[in-house]
Structures are given as C-alpha cells and as structure tokens.
Amino acid sequence: MTQAATNPKASAPIVKADALKAYYVTNAYGVERTVRAVDNISMSIAAGEIYGLAGESGCGKSTLLKVLLGEFQPPLTVVGGAVTYNFEGKEQDASAMTAEDYRRLRWSKVSYVPQGSMHVLNPVRRIQDTFHDFISTHRDVTKAESFKMTSDYLRDLGLPEKVMRSYPHQLSGGMRQRATIALATILFPKLIFADEPTTALDVVVQRGVIGLLKDIQQKEGSTVVLITHDLGVHANLADRIGVLYAGKLVEEAPTRTILKTPKHPYTQFLINSLPDFEERTVRETIPGRPPALDNPPPGCRFHPRCPLAIDVCSQVEPPMIEIAPKHRVACHLVTDVSTVKDSHASL
Amino acid sequence: MQTLRDLVRYSPSFRYGGIILLVVLLFLLLSFFSPYESDERRAVPRNEPPSVQHLMGTTSQGQDVFWMLTFAIRNTLIVAGLAVVIGRGIGVVLGMISGYLGGTWDRILSAIVDSFIVIPRLPLLILIAAMLRGQITLIGLGIMLGLLDWAFPSKRYRAQILSLRERDFTHTAVFSGMRTFKIVMREHLPFIIPFLLADVVSGFLFAIGMEVTLAILGLADMGSQSIGTMIYWGNYYQALLTNRVWVLAAPIAASIVVVVGFYLVSIGLTTYLDPRTRVVRLQVKN
Amino acid sequence: MKLLKSFILPRIVQYLIVIFVGVTLTFLIPRLSPVNPIDSAMGRLTAFQTMSPEATVALRESLTDLYGMNGSMLEQYLSFWRRVLVFDLGPSFTNFPTPVSELIGTSIWWTAGLLGFSTILAWFMGLIMGTLAGYFPNKWWSRSAENTLITIYPVPYYILAFILLMLFTYYWPIFPLVGGARGTPGFTWSYISSIFYYGFLPALSIIISALSFRFIISKALTSSERSSDYVKFAEMAALPKRKILFSYLIRNTLLPQVTDLGLSLGTVFGGALITEVVFGYPGLGTLLLGAINAADFNVIMGITLLSIIGIATASLLVDLSYPLFDPRVRYE
C-alpha cells in the first residue's frame, strides 16, 4: 500500500491526540446541554499512512476530524487533552496556534476535503478564480501563475480543460468533488483530512475519487486521515482503521486485521454486516440504536446493545489496551485477563 | 395557549410590543368615555398648549387633542382591522385553494397572483380615493385597503401549505385514512396559527401606513378623526408655522407608538417561528 | 442565449400585462366612480357665475371632450390608449390649457432625481453596512448600528419626514421650509448647490428609512450566509477576511437584494410622494396634492398612469440586470 510505514525517519507521528476531550456546550432557554462528542481519545498517525476512521452517524467522527484540524469554534470546546502536529521535526500544539500559525499551516501543510462538496465552491466565481484565491493566500503568485498551476494539476488529475473557466453549477457532482479534492491538495500538503469524500456519489464516481486520493497520496507521500462509514472504501484505501463508537475509540488495527479478525463486538458486527459476493446469507444488524451523546450509558458505551456484555461492562469503562503489535481494543471481554478464555468468542 | 406563554416568557420584543399594544388598546377604549363628540368644534378654548385640563393641548378649531387622539386611534385601528380581515381572508382562501388543489389550478392562480403583486398599489389607491373624494367612509376605506392587500399573503399561505403537505406527518395521516378536512384542522392548523398571527400584524402595519399616507394627501375619510387626518388638519392649519407643535406631535407620536408596538410583536412571532429556534426549543423541552 | 429567453421573455410579458392592466384600471376607475367629474366640474364653474343655457351646453360638450368622455365605452377606451401612446394626457383643469404632460414634465425630474439618488445611495450603504455588521456581529459598532436602525426602521416615511422637518427647519432653522432650488435653472454653481441644499432634508428622510431596512435585511442575509459551506471552506483555508467579505459574502448576498430593489420601488415611491408633500418639494407629490384639492382629475389620472408605468419599467430594468450578477442564470 504505502512505503511510509517502513520508513524509520517518519517515526514521529505527524499528528497525535492525547486524552482528547471535545464537547459541544450549549445553553438555550435556560437549559445547559453538553454533548460529549469526543471523549478521551488518544491516537497517533504516522507520516505517509492512510488512516481510516469508521463508525455510525453521530459517533463523533466529524467532530474528531474538526478538532484534529484545529477547527474548534463555540459551541465546540476542547475540554481536556491536546492535539499535536509534527512537521519536519517541529512540534506544534494545535490549540495554541495563532491566526498567523493557521495561515502558515493551512493548505500548505494541513488541508481538508469536505463532506458534501455540492456547495463548497463559491457559486458566483469561476473555478480558476477560486483556485487563485486559495493559492495566492499561501503563495506569492500572479494570476497567470496560479492559472498555470491549476490547469497543470487538473490535467494531471484527469479533469477536462473546460473546468477552469466553468462555474460550479455547470459541473457534474463527480467533477465538482474531484475539483474540490484538487483545490484541497493543490499545494501538496503533508496532512490531508478527508470527511466522507465519497458519500452521496454514485459507485462509478466513487471509484474515481478513491483512485484520485490514492494517486495523490502515492505521488506526494502525504498522510491521509479519512472518515467514512463505508467500510468498503476503507478496505480499498486505508492502511490502518480506527473504529469509533459514541465518542470513544473502541478498536484500532491495520486494515487486514480489522477485516479478518476483529476483536471488539461492535467491530465484529460492522464487518459481518458487509455484503459478500460469494455467500448469500442473511445480514444481521445490531439491535438498538447508538446512545445520545449528552447522556451516554455508564461503563462501556456499547454494553446496552452488546450480546456478550457481562456485569463489569455496565460499571467500568474498558481501557484501550494493545493486545498485539499495532492492534488496540477497548473491551473487557478481550482485555480482562480473567475473561481471556472467552476471547475467541465471536458471532 | 402554550405558545402565548412561551412568547411572553422568552421573547423580550414580544413582551414589550405586547405592553405597548395594551396601552394602545387602552386609548382605544378611552374613546368611548370621551366627554366630547368626535366632530365637535369649539368645545374648548382654542390653541391652548398642553395643560392639566387638556393633557395634549387644543387645536385651532377648539378641540381637545387628547380626546381627539383616542378617537383617532380607534378609527385608524378599525380601518386597519377591516383591511386585514378582508385582505387576509381572501389571501388565506386563495392560498389554500392553490396549495391544496395543486396542478393547473395552482398554476393559473399563481400566475394571476404574481401579476397583481407587481402592480404598484399606491397610485391606484390614490386614484380611487381621489375619485371618491368626499364619499369615503371609514368602512369603505378599510374595504379598499383590504382588496389591495391579498396578493402577497396568498403567496405566503400557499407556500406554507405546500410545505406542510409534504411533511411526513401529513403523509402518515393520509395513509392512515384521515379525511382531508380533519388533516387540515388537526395537523396543519397548529402550524398555521402562529404564522397567521405574524402575517396579521404585518397586515396591520401596511394598512395603518396606507391610511395615514392617504389621509395626509387628504384622501381618506376627512370627516372622522384618524391618526392620518389629525396630521392632515394639523398641517392644514399650519401647526408648525404658528408655533402649535402639540397638535402635530400627538398624532405623530401615536403613530410611532402603534407601529413600533405592532413591529415588536411581529419580531417576537417571527423569531418564534424561525425553524432554527424552533428546533432548539423542541430539543430543550424534551 | 436561448436560456436567457426563458428568463427575459416571461419578465417582459409580465411587464406588458402590468402596463395593460394599469392603463385599463386608470381608464375604468374614474368612469366607474359615482362621482361624475364633469358634473362636479360644472358645479364648480357655475357656482360663482350664471351662464346662459347655450353656454352651459357648450361648456358641457367641451368638458366631455376634454375628459375624453364622448362616445361609447369602447370608443373612449381606444382613444384613451391612442392618447397614452403619444403621451397626450389631456389638459389640466386648474391650469387650463396647459397640458398635463407639461406639468408632469417639470415635476417629474425633481421626483426622479430625489428618488433615484436616495434609493440607490441607501441601497448601497445599507448593503455594505449590513454585511459588515453581519460578519462582525459582536463588535461595538455593529451592535450599536443594529440597535439604532432597528428602532428607526418601523417609523414610517412621513413620520421621519415630519421629525426632520420640525427639527431642522423649525427648531434649528438650518434648512429651508419649502422649495426645490433657488435662482434660475442652469449649470451654475449657485443653482446646483441650491439643489443639494433644498434637497438635503427630503433625501435624508428617504435615505434613513430605506437604509435601515436594507441594513437589517443585509445583516440577516450575511449572518445566515456566513455558515454556508463555501464560506466555511474559505475560512478554513485562512483566506484573508477582506477577500471573503467581498468576493464570497457580498457577491452572494447581493443577489436576492437586487430583486429586492425592484420590488421595493413601489413602496419607496409612496414614501417619496409624502416626503415631497411634507417638505414642499416641487415634485409629483406636491403636484398631486394640489390636483386632489382642486379636483383636477386629468392631472391625477396622469400622475397615476405615469407612476404605474414608471415603477413597472424601473422594476423591469432592475430585474433584467439580474443575470449580470448571477452566473447561474446566465449560463446553464
């Protein structure tokens, strides 16, 4: 997949989160509500890898991405922990960045491919002008130089020439998404966050987008942190996958491992719900619904829906423990020594 | 009822607007206790500045400005009320027909309504009023204003109904076999009513504005007292040039107070109706 | 280009319909009213003098002719249209035999100038101020501007006009009470500056009113547009604030406000008429007031007709300029 995983020089993680807690705190009509979207998450992402974040809607993936990006505005507040970047050996605390730091990092080093690119491009500006806007903010270029950069890059990515002078509404959905990806990566940033880049696109276009992301990653050796609920996309792209549930990281392992031998019951459910061309069996869904993040269940957040739950699951939060190289799980059944004999339990 | 309680509690503009309107209502009711007839002249000493006996002074025709104002407020609001009832009445009916029938009926009606909206109303109103000069009564004025202000409301009601029709709860009701009338009454009315209130208030604002505009031009029912006619006569008898500011100041102040009152209430209502605040409110309530 | 026809053509058709309905209504209304203008005119003319029966008949005949009332309804209607198309609006009654079109001709420049200048200035200023306030909602100037303008906004045009009149011509006599300009018309500095002097208060009155409305709308539009995807994306890429404000926010919030301008012309016109009456400004408003008091129906009809056509045309022009701003309508 990628070469970076074996490169010793890139051993310092390009971005890491330490015991990160980010909540939405709102106060309306005299009632205060706290939504614990990201609750004590620690992870580190190596340079040059493709890391996938998987989970249901409302599990906190988008929030995690926003915080990793350094995009937190009220009501989203970082209540605890830290996010640290590491570019060319220099560490930087994301929450301590000034506006000037933002401007230097954004787009040249850290970039973002948004979810739902239908309205991400300024509707009254031509694509080439929008590109110039973004480029000239971070590089000292003339309009002609921007246009050249843009047209070369778009051509490399397989987009037709006419895209340059078009307005966003004149492009098809797939072209718009690809143009947006191009816009996000035109300065060849080292760290790219992609939020559901393939959702709401038909499968043919999805393949094109996946291919595009792979291309970019391979050519520049960038790191990609990818969110999607579609495990198929993760299977195609990601080196490592982290599974989120109700604001917590429940399992993290290389893609093959997650797909073949998932350990956490939730992950097992997710994998088993994937359609399989060969077998024609009934797919099971997980009973119940994910918890509301303002009032999560005590102990392990998955325990109300978990068919294997035992007493300790409803009392004590399972810690994230490395059970094998690069494989971490947060589940009492898997990590508690006393229940190790049930660790082969699966569905 | 619950709606009203919420509005009074959480919306300062609704609260203040409501208080102002209550004061206005008080003035209106006072008019029934006036010691003078509305068109009585020479009832009191002329051209007196405000004093304890005559709170707002007197005019050059020997009328007490304070009691004139009570009549004026009553009549202006009657005219506006009539206009609103007629205008919104037509608007609601047309909007509902258009919204519920749909199809070609909707398209024809909408095309007609759209053409009416673009026609400038004031010039027509001036022409009609000029032709009928001397013959317009308060009721007539109200009817005229109402007949000219149904186009935009009907568009808005139609839009509301169209959006309500497509909501999930409507589909559920239809699928479960509820009859159309029941659906309208039970499911849709609770949404339409606050919308209607906000719209009625804006109708009042328009009608009051038009009445005063016409009166200043001398085109309203010049025999009765209304806020507009008070301003007209004040101007006519040179209140400014002859140093009798209070004759004009009273109706002008009243006009501001009434309009601001209605306006604050409408802000309160529209913020309440705004889908975003509604969502927050529902979340909080649960 | 073909698709512009799907935008331009319906709009022009609508314009023609409005003109047609407007002219027809202006024709019908005097004829449907219970007051017969000829009778009332006769009444006034014979009130102070006695006339011989032949003279009375002759007078009635010429009045009927003047008011375009001879012939059947259909004949009257057609001749009405014929005269409208050549701008022949008949003679004024009180200023006989001055044609109405001449009277309107002198007044209309004052009104058009006042209205055009004030409306456009107010629109621009309100747009820019409102957008700035919407983008920086927590700055002190943003909040105080909003609070001030929100209190001014519901105050109707005539009230504002009266207040300004009382304050600045009466209590502090800085500005003149009536009039449009001083001296002989011409391109002299004294004449032109007097135009600004006399027109200052009326213009201010209209501008304040129109500006407060535009400010509020602009601020609201900007507040909601700020959270749209493309603005958030641009902010995320750390684009400079000035660029976001002008090339992203204003360029987009501009669009509904251009159509607003077209729709608001009718209301602003009404406000301008009243303002002119209050300030004695020599435009259509004062002309109208005089005509109403003298029951000069030809002038009244002429002004009504002109207003309808004028507002509809201005509105059409504004609407037709919309594709220049919105590429989504210009290109498919």
Cβ neighbours of A167 in C, within 8 Å: 327-328, 331
Nearest-CB residue to C159 (from B119, B131, B256): B256
Question: Which chain B residue shows the shortest CA-CA distance from A33?
Answer: B284
CA dist., res. A9 & res. A53, Å (int): 25
Predicted pLDDT of residue A5 = 44
Q: Which residue segment(s) compose the domain that C242 sits in?
A: 108-295
Chain C neighbours (≥3 Cβ pairs under 8 A) are A, B
Q: What is the pLDDT of residues B52-62, one digit of tens each?
A: 777 777 777 77
pLDDT band at A29 (very low <50, low <70, confident <90, very high): low
Q: How far apart are the first and last CA of chain A?
A: 30
Q: What is the mean pLDDT of residues A60-65?
A: 83
Predicted pLDDT of residue C215 = 92
Cβ neighbours of B281 in A, within 8 Å: 28-29
Residue C189 counted as domain residue:
yes
pLDDT band at A336 (very low <50, low <70, confident <90, very high): confident
* Residue matched to tokens 């605040």: B277
Question: Which chain A residue shows the shortest CA-CA distance from B279?
Answer: A28
C32 in the Ramachandran plot: left (φ > 0), alpha (ψ -120 to 50) or beta?
alpha
Q: What tokens were used for B101?
A: 């029938």
Q: What is the mean pLDDT of residues B141-161?
A: 84
Q: What is the mean pLDDT of residues C4-28?
A: 85
pLDDT band at B168 (very low <50, low <70, confident <90, very high): low
State the smallest CA–CA distance between residue C188 and chain B in angstroms: 32
Q: What tokens were used for A221?
A: 């050796």
Of A17 and A239, the one with more pLDDT: A239
User: Which alpha helices (DSSP H) does C227-326 contain, by range?
Assistant: 229-236, 241-243, 251-279, 284-294, 297-320, 322-325
Q: What tokens were used for A159?
A: 């987009």
Q: What tokens were used for C137?
A: 């909602």
Whether B120 sits inside 8 A of C307 (CB atoms) is yes
pLDDT band at A337 (very low <50, low <70, confident <90, very high): low
Whether C251 sits inside 8 A of A107 (CB atoms) is no
Whether B280 sits inside 8 A of A31 (CB atoms) is no
State the smallest CA–CA distance between residue A24 and chain C in angstroms: 17
Q: Is 60 exceeded by the pLDDT of residue A340?
A: no
Whether B10 and chain A come into contact, CB under 8 Å, resolves to yes
Predicted pLDDT of residue A9 = 43
Q: Which residues does residue A69 pair with via DSSP β-bridges, in sequence order? A: none
Q: What tokens were used for B248?
A: 């004009």
Nearest-CB residue to C311 (from B115, B120, B252): B120
Predicted pLDDT of residue A3 = 42
Q: For chain B, give the number of residues.
A: 286
CA dist., res. C327 & res. C323, Å (int): 7
Nearest-CB residue to C331 (from A120, A138, A170): A170
Question: Which chain A residue shows the shortest CA-CA distance from B280?
Answer: A28
Whether A112 and chain C come into contact, CB under 8 Å, resolves to yes
Q: What is the mean pLDDT of residues A297-305?
A: 84
A192, A159 Cβ separation under 8 angstroms? no
* Residue matched to tokens 């208030």: B201
List the Cα angle A11/A16/A17 in 5-degree steps.
Answer: 155
As a dihedral over the C-alpha atoms of residue C101, residue C104, residue C108, residue C111, rounded to 10 degrees, the angle is -160
* Beta strands A50-54 and A240-245, pairing class: parallel
Q: Is 50 exceeded by the pLDDT of residue A140?
A: yes
Q: Is 60 exceeded by the pLDDT of residue A346?
A: no
Whether A74 and chain C come into contact, CB under 8 Å, resolves to no
Across A336-345, B179-188, C87-96, the highest mean pLDDT is recorded for C87-96
The residues near B130 (Cβ < 8 Å, ≥ 6 apart) are B219, C291, C292, C297, C300
Residue C83 counted as domain residue:
no
Provide the 10 A C-beta neighbour count for residue B212. Answer: 29
Whether C325 sits inside 8 A of A120 (CB atoms) is no
Phi/psi at A53 (nearest 5 deg)? -105, 120
Cβ neighbours of C166 in B, within 8 Å: 240, 245, 248
Whether C155 sits inside 8 A of B128 (CB atoms) is no
Nearest-CB residue to C304 (from B123, B217, B262): B123
Q: What is the pLDDT of residues C93-144, one digit of tens each?
A: 777 667 888 888 888 888 888 888 999 999 999 999 999 998 988 888 888 8
C254, C325 Cβ separation under 8 angstroms? yes
Count: domains in chain C: 1
Using beta carbons and an 8 Å cutoff, which residues of A are at the interface with B?
26, 28-29, 31, 33
CA dist., res. C73 & res. C69, Å (int): 8
- State whether ipTM is beyond 0.95: no
Residue C318 counted as domain residue:
no
In this complex, how many residue pairs, one in chain B and one in chain C, have their CB atoms less than 8 Å apart? 123
List the Cα angle A167/A172/A174 in 5-degree steps.
Answer: 120
State the smallest CA–CA distance between residue A124 and chain C in angstroms: 6
Q: What is the pLDDT of residues B106-148, one digit of tens each?
A: 888 887 887 777 777 888 888 888 877 777 788 888 888 888 8
Whether A122 sits inside 8 A of C326 (CB atoms) is no
Asked which of B199-208, B228-237, C200-209, C316-325 is least confident by mean pLDDT, the reply is: B228-237
Cβ neighbours of B10 in A, within 8 Å: 29
The half-sphere exposure of A75 on its side-chain side, counting CA atoms within 13 A, is 12
Mean pLDDT, chain C, whole residue set: 83
Q: Is 80 exceeded by the pLDDT of residue A146?
A: yes
Whether A119 sits inside 8 A of C240 (CB atoms) is no
CA dist., res. A256 & res. C283, Å (int): 83
Residue in A73, A76, A121, A124 to test binding to C, most C beta-carbons within 10 Å: A124
Whether C237 sits inside 8 A of A134 (CB atoms) is yes
Q: Is 50 exceeded by the pLDDT of residue A7?
A: no
Cβ neighbours of A26 in B, within 8 Å: 280
Burial-class residue C208 by CB neighbours within 10 Å (0-12, 13-18, 19+).
buried
Of A325 and B9, the one with more pLDDT: A325
Q: Cis link prior to C97 (omega < 30° from 0)?
A: yes
Residue C309 counted as domain residue:
no
H/E run at residue A82? strand A76-87
Q: What 8-state DSSP symbol labels residue C144?
A: H
Cβ neighbours of A121 in C, within 8 Å: 230, 233
CATH number at residue C247: 1.10.3720.10
Q: Is 90 exceeded by the pLDDT of residue A42?
A: no
B41, B61 Cβ separation under 8 angstroms? yes
Q: What is the pLDDT of residues C173-194, one digit of tens each?
A: 777 777 767 666 777 777 778 8
Q: Is 50 exceeded by the pLDDT of residue A344?
A: no
Phi/psi at C68 (nearest 5 deg)? 65, 30
CA dist., res. C220 & res. C134, Å (int): 7
Q: Is 60 exceeded by the pLDDT of residue A2?
A: no
Predicted pLDDT of residue C121 = 93
Residue C66 counted as domain residue:
no
B18, B8 Cβ separation under 8 angstroms? yes
* Residue matched to tokens 């007051």: C35
CA dist., res. B41 & res. C85, Å (int): 50
Residue C241 counted as domain residue:
yes
Q: How large a percentage of chain C has pLDDT more than 70?
A: 94
Residue C57 counted as domain residue:
no
Residue C81 counted as domain residue:
no
Predicted pLDDT of residue B184 = 65
Residue in B24, B112, B122, B149 to test binding to C, most C beta-carbons within 10 Å: B122
pLDDT band at B224 (very low <50, low <70, confident <90, very high): confident
Predicted pLDDT of residue A342 = 46
Q: What is the pLDDT of residues A206-238, one digit of tens each?
A: 888 888 888 888 888 888 898 888 888 888 888
pLDDT band at B284 (very low <50, low <70, confident <90, very high): low
* Residue matched to tokens 């020089």: A9
Q: What is the mean pLDDT of residues C64-77?
A: 77
Q: Is 90 exceeded by the pLDDT of residue A306?
A: no
Of B11 and C273, the one with more pLDDT: C273
Q: How large a percentage of chain A has pLDDT more than 70?
A: 90
- Which of A74, A53, A35, A120 minimizes the C-alpha distance to A292? A35
